Amino acid sequence: MKNLAVLVLSVIFTLSANSLFAQVANSTLKSIAVVSLDSDGISLDNAAMGNLLRLELEKVQKYEVLDQYDVANLLKKRNINPNETFGKSQLVTVGNEIGADYMLSGSVQKFGAKIVYILRLIDVKGDKIIKTDVKEYIYDEQYIQLMTRNSLASLLGIEADSEIAAKLKYVDTPIVSDGQSLKLSGP
C-alpha cells in the first residue's frame, strides 16, 4: 500500500513538473502575429490564407502565436481593414499595438501555371523585414496547405519534407509542339 502511494505521488509530481516546464518554455517564446495573406488568382481569400498560415505556424511551436480574434478585435477598434494591411509600416504599427515581437505577412499569387508564395518576417521593435522567402510551386490548389508548410519551414530555417517539396516545385519546361521539328543535319 505504501509503495502504491509513493508511485501515485511520483506520477503526479512528474506530470506536474512536465506541465510547469511546458508553461515556462512557452512563456519564453517570442510572440508573432498574422493579420492576413494577400491572395490573388486562387480560391482562398486573404483571411482564409492568413488562417492557414497561422495554423501551420502553431504547429511549428517556435513562437507564441497571438490569437486571431485578439488581433481582429484590435484592427476593428482602429478601423483597420485586414484585407489591406500588408505593408511593413502598417504591420509594425499593428504589431506595436498588440505587443507582438514579430509580424508574418506575404502573398500567394497565381502566375500562369504556377503559384508564387512569398513570406516576410518583420521585426516589430527593429522596424524591418528580417527575412523573406520566395517559392514557386506547380499550380494545384489542393496542395496549398503543403505549400504553406514548406514555405514556412524554409522561412524559419526548419527542415521540410524534401520529397514533398520536390513534388510541389515548379520547373520551367520548354514549349514543345508536335507541329515543329528541328533538323541538325544541315540545310
Residue bearing the bigger pLDDT, 173 or 77:
77
Q: Mean pLDDT throughout 71-76? A: 90
Q: Mean pLDDT throughout 82-102? A: 91
C-alpha cell at 23: 508553461
Q: How confident is the model at residue 111 (pLDDT cuts 50, 70, 90)?
A: very high
Quick one: what percent of the chain has pLDDT higher than 90? 61
> Which pLDDT does position 176 carry in this prediction?
55
Q: How confident is the model at residue 161 (pLDDT cuts 50, 70, 90)?
A: confident
> Which pLDDT does position 162 carry in this prediction?
87
Output the pTM of the full model: 0.76
> Which pLDDT does position 125 carry in this prediction?
97
Neighbours of 95 (CB within 10 A): 24
> Which pLDDT does position 113 carry in this prediction?
92
Domains of the chain as residue ranges with CATH: 30-168 (3.40.50.10610)
Pairing state of beta strands 64-65 and 38-40? unpaired
- Write out the DSSP string of 91-158: HHHHHHHHT-SEEEEEEEEEETTEEEEEEEEEETTTTEEEEEEEEEEES-GGGHHHHHHHHHHHHHT-
> Does residue 103 carry a pLDDT above 70?
yes
Q: Mean pLDDT throughout 7-22? A: 50
| Gap between the Cα atoms of 123 and 131, Å rounded | 9
Average pLDDT, the chain: 85
Q: What is the pLDDT of residues 19-62, one digit of tens each?
A: 444 444 456 899 999 999 999 999 999 999 999 999 999 999 99
Residue bearing the bigger pLDDT, 1 or 171:
171
> Does residue 9 carry a pLDDT above 80?
no
C-alpha cell at 30: 517570442
Q: How confident is the model at residue 185 (pLDDT cuts 50, 70, 90)?
A: confident
> Which pLDDT does position 21 carry in this prediction?
47
